[in-house]
Structure 1
Amino acid sequence: MRASTRTRPAPDPSGVVGTVRLGRGARALLPRVRPGDVVALDQHDLDPATARALVDSGVAAVLNASPMLSGRYPSRGAEVLAEAGVPVLDGVGAEGVATLREGARVRIHDAQVLDEEGVLLASGRVVDLETVLTEMAQARLGLTAQLESFTRNSVELLRREEGLLLHGQGMPTPATSFAGRPAVVVARGHGHLAELDALRPFLREQHAVLVAVGAAADDLRKRGHRAEVVVLDADGELPSAPALRAATDVVVCGGQGRAEVTASLERLGVRPLHVDSSAATEDAALLIAHAGDAELVVTVGLATTLVDFLDQGRPGLASTYLTRLKLGPSLVDAAAVARLYSGRVRPHHLVLVVLAGILALLLAVGVTPVGQEWWDQLRDFSEGLFR
């Protein structure tokens, strides 16, 4: 039973109370979520980056009309929520979610969703950590089918967009110069702000080209950086007007809403470039940097493992795979750069070298006859000062 039966149980103060935030997908909900809210969505296989963002937002509970784990692969979003202690109900159903109102106060108790008067609105299944781990073990068996589908999609994408992926045909020519400079492509993913902070010496000393994917341009701006290139999904979230105006190049990727987005940008005084491709926005950003002959491409906030790619749950998975093959050894994750990059020689390094050289010279002179005579004179002079 998913829809309300409008029964009225006895008042019970236990459970989690919060304000309802409704949305089909979690990413669209995130800008509206406040601490203590109850998020109600309809999304299979919630990805871990979005789940962490929900945890960081301080959600009181998550209600999902769909299963948190569909069994296709071991999605880790539910695990992130369970480990953080966020109550989760899934299988609430579209009918159950339809009984909820945006901004209403509800109470989650056991597997039930109640209004302020204790009226039952919807029910679902409690998804705790034990349930998640059991179902993730079963879902690992579904990886084979997912990989087979992924292989077919990759071959089809390569056949359809061979010119763009292999030869760069249709790639725009930005005014920003990448040649001889490293490029850092920043997307909103798990830990992207921490990775960005760890890269600060690299960004400052290597004069890297900053390429922002969508709203990541605002994150760069808040950190005191400027995105020289902003790559937008025509159907996705746009960054703020100041971040767009500050960019040298703004590139819009495919999508049905391209004309509308282009018109919005032109009203801001921004004349965008375009990429006609079904590739994911972050993949288009990587290809733009590579086509510009960037000597190194560093990724911030992008997926790095196979399960991460599957967790994104998007059709663009094939483009991610082919793009990374295309960039090959020039592609490096931000975590690796932060560990390996020690920075250029700084003034205090030179001072230490000079002092070490002077000390070595004094020791060398001190063992010569002339040096011994100088040491004797210095000793006599210092003894005379204290008499």
Structure 2
Amino acid sequence: MKLRKGREQIDVDTRVGPAVVRLDRRTKDLTKRLQAGEIAVIRHSDIDRVSAEALVGCRPAAVVNASASTSGRYPNVGPGIIVDSGIPLIDAAGDEIFDLLTEGEEIRLEDGKVLRGDEVLVSGTLLTPALVDEAMEDAAAGMNEVLVDFVDNTIEYIRKDSDLLADEIVVPDVRTDFTDRHALIVVRGYHYKEDLAMLRTYIREYRPLLIGVDGGADALIEAGYAPDMIVGDMDSVSDHALASGAELVVHAYRDGRAPGVERLASLGLESVTFPASGTSEDIAMLMADDKGAALIVAVGTHDTLIEFLDKGRRGMASTFLTRLRIGSKLVDAKGVSLLYRQRISTWQLVLLACAGLVALLAAISATAAGQTALGLLGAQFDGVAQWFALLFGIS
């Protein structure tokens, strides 16, 4: 079968295995242990971009989805990312696959069938580029209705989440000092790796406070940084990140319930809770603003309709209200990379000039004519030095 990758055509063998199978109903949990060459079994309706990129990054032999990879609700790009990477994707295999398979056993795939030896366990649809394109076109055709519903829900929830604009919102006391500092808030969203790479020089020079929102803490660690604070439900961040020494702020419901506290307590870690409506990335921004951050730089946060739908959100009330409250203090990482230019100090310029002069002299001295010229220049320098010595009576 031919699958697209940009404008190229690549061959993909739809017969996969035998290979070890890994199963998990939560894609983000599966990608933590999925190894290259294994077969991933997931249950993920409307595979989003971030999940698809995480799966592709694990380099599995194939992906089997118990659910429909595209439900038709909106044009999610996840299936296309997997298919275009050359990884076979079997769609709508049925939830019974989780009862029929055991993690670690070997299975094989053939033309949409999942087999143990010669026994066909379940069958699904092997997605092709044409099928993915057709599903995207059908989903895009209904976007007007989705957009109207999204706006209606946003307006409805603005009324419920209006506490995000209220002055009486209670931000907890934290030990991290934000006063007049830049705060870099990292969410494991669209293009977060590229954004962090672009900001490497900015981070080195400005040394902003590094705040990971749940899995964003792992993103910071993977990029070589130590998070100063981790904010979130604590459901998608690794134990390693939680034990990194960062201050932990658990996002709680408005009634005070905070399930994430139990996990931290089981790890022997202390935390503070922040009861508020909205998302964890919203409360991270609100905290930075309330505690006096001079600038808030967002990495991987959600801005477009497709991104919100990818996260399963039916509106953007809290995001809208949070940005309204923070105002111009908040900038996107891509904006920083466009506006920011590395500062070059005077001593760096002097060092660069000296290095250039040394290189020039070395090049001149490598030729016979250059050696003669340097000799004459040296003789002139000696004459000037003797004149100064006689002028000032130096013997």
TM-score by length of 1: 0.80
**More deviation in 38-47 or 259-268?**
259-268
User: Is the partner of 1:51 in helix, strand or coil?
Assistant: helix
Partner of 1:253: 251
In structure 1, list runs of 5 or more residues that go unmatched: 1-12, 356-377
Say if 1:96 and 1:175 are closer, same or farther in 2 by CA, change over 3 A.
closer
Q: CA deviation at 1:319?
A: 2.5
Partner of 1:238: 237
Matches within 5 A, 1:353-372: none
Q: Does residue 199 of structure 1 match 2:199?
A: yes
Q: Does residue 220 of structure 1 match 2:202?
A: no
Q: CA deviation at 1:152?
A: 2.8
Partner of 1:175: 175
Q: CA deviation at 1:305?
A: 2.7
Q: CA deviation at 1:216?
A: 2.8
Partner of 2:301: 302
Q: Deviations over 1:32-62 (max 9, x none)?
A: 2111121112221110111011001011111
Tell me, yes or no, if the aligned pair for 1:76 and 1:311 is still in contact at 8 Å. no
Matches within 5 A, 1:255-270: 261-266=260-265, 270=269
Please give the alpha-carbon distance, in whole angstroms, between the structure 1 residues aligned to 2:310 and 2:232. Answer: 21
Q: CA deviation at 1:283?
A: 2.0
Please give the alpha-carbon distance, in whole angstroms, between the structure 1 residues aligned to 2:196 and 2:76. Answer: 26
Q: Deviations over 1:340-381 (max 9, x none)?
A: 3112332444427998xxxxxxxxxxxxxxxxxxxxxx8993
User: Is the partner of 1:93 in helix, strand or coil?
Assistant: coil
Q: CA deviation at 1:263?
A: 4.1
1:55 maps to amino acid: V
Say if 1:202 and 1:311 are closer, same or farther in 2 by CA, change over 3 A.
same
Q: CA deviation at 1:148?
A: 2.4
Identity over aligned residues, as a percent? 35
Partner of 1:134: 134
Q: Does residue 120 of structure 1 match 2:140?
A: no
Q: CA deviation at 1:281?
A: 1.5
Partner of 2:51: 50
Partner of 2:331: 332
Say if 1:79 and 1:267 are closer, same or farther in 2 by CA, change over 3 A.
closer
Q: Deviations over 1:111-163 (max 9, x none)?
A: 21111x21111101121111111211111122222222222332232222212
User: Is the partner of 1:167 in helix, strand or coil?
Assistant: coil
Partner of 2:284: 285
Q: CA deviation at 1:382?
A: 6.2
Say if 1:44 and 1:222 are closer, same or farther in 2 by CA, change over 3 A.
closer
2:237 maps to amino acid: L
Say if 1:137 and 1:324 are closer, same or farther in 2 by CA, change over 3 A.
farther
Please give the alpha-carbon distance, in whole angstroms, between the structure 1 residues aligned to 2:14 and 2:67. Answer: 25
Q: CA deviation at 1:83?
A: 0.9
User: Is the partner of 2:96 in helix, strand or coil?
Assistant: helix
Q: CA deviation at 1:84?
A: 0.5
Q: Does residue 155 of structure 1 match 2:155?
A: yes
Q: Deviations over 1:312-335 (max 9, x none)?
A: 223574433433343343222222
Q: CA deviation at 1:191?
A: 3.6
In structure 2, list runs of 5 or more residues that go unmatched: 1-12, 355-376, 385-395
Say if 1:168 and 1:114 are closer, same or farther in 2 by CA, change over 3 A.
farther
Matches within 5 A, 1:25-40: 25-40=26-41
Partner of 1:368: none
Q: Does residue 211 of structure 1 match 2:211?
A: yes
1:215 maps to amino acid: G
Partner of 1:189: 189
Q: CA deviation at 1:295?
A: 2.0
TM-score by length of 2: 0.78
Please give the alpha-carbon distance, in whole angstroms, between the structure 2 residues aligned to 1:203 and 1:379. Answer: 47
**More deviation in 211-220 or 71-80?**
211-220
Q: CA deviation at 1:23?
A: 1.5
Tell me, yes or no, if the aligned pair for 1:195 and 1:300 is still in contact at 8 Å. yes
Please give the alpha-carbon distance, in whole angstroms, between the structure 2 residues aligned to 1:224 and 1:90. Answer: 36
Q: CA deviation at 1:99?
A: 2.3
Matches within 5 A, 1:340-355: 340-351=339-350
Say if 1:349 and 1:70 are closer, same or farther in 2 by CA, change over 3 A.
same
Matches within 5 A, 1:316-331: 317-331=316-330
**More deviation in 238-247 or 125-134?**
238-247
Tell me, yes or no, if the aligned pair for 1:64 and 1:90 is still in contact at 8 Å. yes
Tell me, yes or no, if the aligned pair for 1:227 and 1:243 is still in contact at 8 Å. no
Tell me, yes or no, if the aligned pair for 2:282 and 2:319 is still in contact at 8 Å. yes
Aligned residues: 349
Q: Does residue 24 of structure 1 match 2:25?
A: yes
1:314 maps to amino acid: R
User: Is the partner of 1:33 in helix, strand or coil?
Assistant: coil
